[in-house]
Structure 1
Amino acid sequence: MNTEIRNLLPIALWNKFADLNAVPRASKKEEQVRQFIINFGKSLGLETFSDTVGNVIIRKLATAGMEDRKMITLQSHLDMVHQKNANTDFDFDTQGIEMFVEENWVKANGTTLGADNGIGVATIMALLESNTIPHPALEALFTIDEETGMTGAMGLEANVLKGDILLNLDTEEDDEIDIGCAGGVDVTAERSYNPKPVPRGILAYEVLVKGLRGGHSGMDIHKGLGNANKIMNRMLYHGTENHNVYISEIDGGGLRNAIPRESFAKIVVDKAHKQDFEKNFDELATTIKSELLVQEPQLSITLSTCKVPESVMGLGVQEKFLKAVYAAHNGVYAMSPSMSDLVETSNNIARISARNGSLKIGCLTRSSVNSAKIDLAHALKSVFELAGFEVSFSGDYPGWKPNPDSLILEVLKEQYEILFKEKPKVVACHAGLECGILGQNYPDMDMISFGPTIHGAHSPDETVSVASVQKYWRFVLEILKNTPKK
């Protein structure tokens, strides 16, 4: 499958992407990919080292005639989101991503592709390896753990980097130049409960919500996509209200930065309610699928009988839990008043688990306004605490404030217009980019972010445009050629 990828243009970039995707690189499990990058840098005879938290830095001297230009720091993150379809047999810890080309798009076989941020990493590798591309002095910064905490960027100390300009290669629309992003905070609600014996005279069912598109919980949050955790909660809430449903377990969603695509629950219902429960379940499932028909045409909500579990949640705890999730905000909370069509504040109810006396809810709250981020986080905290949960905040990271007077922004705008005969869109995004964090220790570094067109990041539908990568590669080369003088 990956052979056809290696024949795409630009060959240098796609070959590095194929090499990279052969290496497992889950967030917080970057040992193999870190060593892969270190070996790569050393094989080229370049200055290569790792900092105290595990980021990898590689430096390359300017090509002849470019010594008087400002030093460019090229930055991308090594880790990727690991998501797969339920029916895909794949081990992310040991297998490389299986890729194929379909109608000018590169895709993966039932898993995330890793174009986020693998195309950026591959770009930097191709530039470091080249003997023919003119460029100023280059500094490559490969960060770790961007997707689940940005701990690499947070742990990068001052005075490690030497670059004057930072090019972050981690956005997903090739006609956009990004000059700002949202910050985020993880909101976690936890509580315990005493499992109750299963009542007599009951039937057990498995409820499965699947077929949702999922996606990036920042970049895709405005699209009105279905959230499997909210859909499951709605089904269980109405089942409890009407038919005394007892919950045995729930397993919904996954990573905080991915909109949940699937949720599983095991429940029990009194046999006397069987007919009415199944009828009402089907009616509500049909209603929800109708509501989401445009956004989620593949949504499936199914009910099947199963073996009776050993225990269930008590009705008191269950009622508070279901009402809290129902009330907790999910999706866009506020739009930016200063930038058209930009989401300012949002929340993703990313993960819900309930089993054997333990309940846990994980959210990712984002905003380009720090006070609004904290305000929504406290609103969620209040809802969950009223339901008896203990709530904690973690992984708080800042947004990136736009600098409309950026010198490198002017270079990118000018070169984009020359190359493509149109003006680029200068935007801020609702995703979390590392620029805001890096800027805390490097406040004088001129920063910009751009990349090729990637759709469906953080889901098994992730795909990257071949034509867009070619366009983006041309853009990168012209930026390097036109780097400002010192």
Structure 2
Amino acid sequence: MDTDIRALEPQPLWNKFADLNAVPRPSKKEERVIAFMKDFGKNLGLETIEDEVGNVIIRKPATSGMEDRKMIVMQSHLDMVHQKNNDTSFDFDSQGIDMYVDGDWVRAKGTTLGADNGLGVATIMAILESSDIEHPAIEALFTIDEETGMTGAKGLKGGVLKGDILLNLDTEEDDEIGVGCAGGIDVTATRTYINEKVPLHFSGFEIKVKGLQGGHSGMQIHEGLGNANKLMNRLLFKGSQKFRLRLSEIDGGGLRNAIPRESRALIAVRTENKTSFAEELEALALTIKSEFKTTEPNLQILIEKAETPLRVMDLSTQEVFLRALYAAHNGVYRMSADIPDLVETSNNMAKVIVKDGYIKIGCLTRSSVESSKWDLATALKATFELAGCEVEFSGDYPGWTPNMDSDILKVMVPIYERLNNGEKPKVAACHAGLECGILGQNYPDMDMISFGPNIKGAHSPDERAQISSAQKYWKFVLEILKHIPKK
């Protein structure tokens, strides 16, 4: 219930989060939340503008006595990942998020919560609305479409912002201060195939992979979580090799920045082999579940009889297609040689679609090193081209190179230690795609930092925000605002 959320401390933060989450805001469909944010700024009597691509900028003067401090840019993105459980009835285009309190966590009922990056947006809104929070001059930058293309950050022109320091509120660990991030590129492979009639004396089966945790394809790519598309292909390849399985349809995964949780395939096998086929795949399913028993305890693999499909992929295409999916790299490609425990380069095989004579494979390749990003993207391109696919690169964005000599970093570290009994924060780069690298292209002299409260399971229906961490983070924010350096 929203009333439970609004009663949480700090109330200014949670109240603004509840207001925001009442507004539908899927990526690439931000019209309503843009209007909401513009109305919010104008109703406060603050200078409010929308740029050419839909970013909203709200400016608030410094509070009394803080006029001599550097202007800061407080930045978060308006859009959210829209993922839901299959058994959840929910329309992200028209409904607000249904939230509830679960102990020390705020969750959503069967959907993503939108704490990524809604808590950052709510933080900025609460500060803009406040009359008693001490702060320097603020430019609030609310970008669009961070999750599926970074088009807001890419479209922000140089010279629009006047601030000297950028506080990005999109980190998901409250003991971490972010100073760098990975860049990324979308890799899309497509091809057509002959959609021929299924042979006589074949029987249909439906194979389902579900119950996987999913999650953030950058921050959680190293956790050994199951990828529904790769697991499905393992099953199909075995069936193809031993029983000459014929493939009709695949529908696996979704958004590129989410590790795929579910996949469904419709296939056909010779009727005389249907019993042995089912037994063989059930045995493989048990093996896979055993392999993933620790990381994916709720994994389900179902092999069920179904109506025999009318058409299937031609065998020559099927052979190279299944081999390409098997060969294509998924997961961690290289760990950083310079920053301990940091994933440098990875790939997420996010979506696989086969239907009506058309194949589409969507991947997101990430890296903090440009040359390594292109190395893996090129390897994927070569793999899919061997299967007769056309491969397109799109959505390329740069990483954010760490600056360990940052002035705002030197301010924030001692504040964190003072507020947390001497505990040192983790000053680190992350494997997610933050907007700082892109914004830095047009604002190369801006000092940038990223931080935020604990958010777990982002980009999945298990997304949750920790209440106690939000309280810790809020105190940190208020102290940072008091100690922004002088001009």
* Alpha-carbon separation, structure 1, partners of 2:278 and 2:156: 55
SS at match of 1:223: coil
| Partner deviation per Cα, 1:274-315 (whole Å, 9 max, x = no partner) | 111011010000000000000000000001112222210011
Q: Which amino acid aligns with 1:83?
A: Q
Q: Which amino acid aligns with 1:54?
A: G
Shift in Å, 1:115: 0.2
Cross-structure match for 2:118: 118
Cross-structure match for 1:78: 78
Cross-structure match for 1:452: 453
- TM-score of the aligned structures, taking structure 2 as reference length: 0.99
Question: Which 5+ residue runs of structure 2 have no aligned equivalent?
Answer: none
Shift in Å, 1:95: 0.5
SS at match of 2:469: helix
SS at match of 1:322: helix
User: Are 1:435 and 2:426 matched, yes or no?
Assistant: no
* Alpha-carbon separation, structure 2, partners of 1:235 and 1:328: 16
The residue correspondences of 1:13-412 to structure 2 (distance < 5 A) are 13-412=13-412
User: Are 1:423 and 2:412 matched, yes or no?
Assistant: no
Shift in Å, 1:316: 0.8
* Alpha-carbon separation, structure 2, partners of 1:227 and 1:2: 34
Q: Which amino acid aligns with 2:418?
A: I
| Partner deviation per Cα, 1:218-258 (whole Å, 9 max, x = no partner) | 00000000000000000000000001111110000000000
- TM-score of the aligned structures, taking structure 1 as reference length: 1.00
| Partner deviation per Cα, 1:93-138 (whole Å, 9 max, x = no partner) | 0000000011110000000000000000000000000000000001
| Partner deviation per Cα, 1:15-36 (whole Å, 9 max, x = no partner) | 0000100000000000000000
SS at match of 1:128: helix
* Alpha-carbon separation, structure 1, partners of 2:247 and 2:125: 50
Q: Which amino acid aligns with 1:184?
A: G
Q: Which amino acid aligns with 1:78?
A: L
Cross-structure match for 1:477: 478
Shift in Å, 1:3: 1.4
| Partner deviation per Cα, 1:165-207 (whole Å, 9 max, x = no partner) | 0000001000000000000000000000110101111111111
| Partner deviation per Cα, 1:321-376 (whole Å, 9 max, x = no partner) | 00000000000000000000000000000000000000000000000000000010
Cross-structure match for 2:465: 464
> RMSD in angstroms over aligned alpha carbons?
0.5
* Alpha-carbon separation, structure 1, partners of 2:99 and 2:3: 9
* Alpha-carbon separation, structure 2, partners of 1:99 and 1:410: 37
Shift in Å, 1:414: 1.0
Q: Which amino acid aligns with 1:432?
A: G
Shift in Å, 1:461: 0.2
* Alpha-carbon separation, structure 2, partners of 1:245 and 1:384: 21
Question: Which 5+ residue runs of structure 1 have no aligned equivalent?
Answer: none
* Alpha-carbon separation, structure 1, partners of 2:269 and 2:95: 42
Q: Which amino acid aligns with 2:75?
A: Q
SS at match of 1:222: coil
Shift in Å, 1:478: 0.2
Cross-structure match for 2:5: 5
* Alpha-carbon separation, structure 1, partners of 2:412 and 2:199: 67
Q: Which amino acid aligns with 2:484?
A: T
Shift in Å, 1:164: 0.5
Q: Which amino acid aligns with 1:389?
A: C
* Alpha-carbon separation, structure 2, partners of 1:121 and 1:483: 20
Q: Which amino acid aligns with 1:429?
A: C
Shift in Å, 1:432: 0.2
Q: Which amino acid aligns with 2:462?
A: D
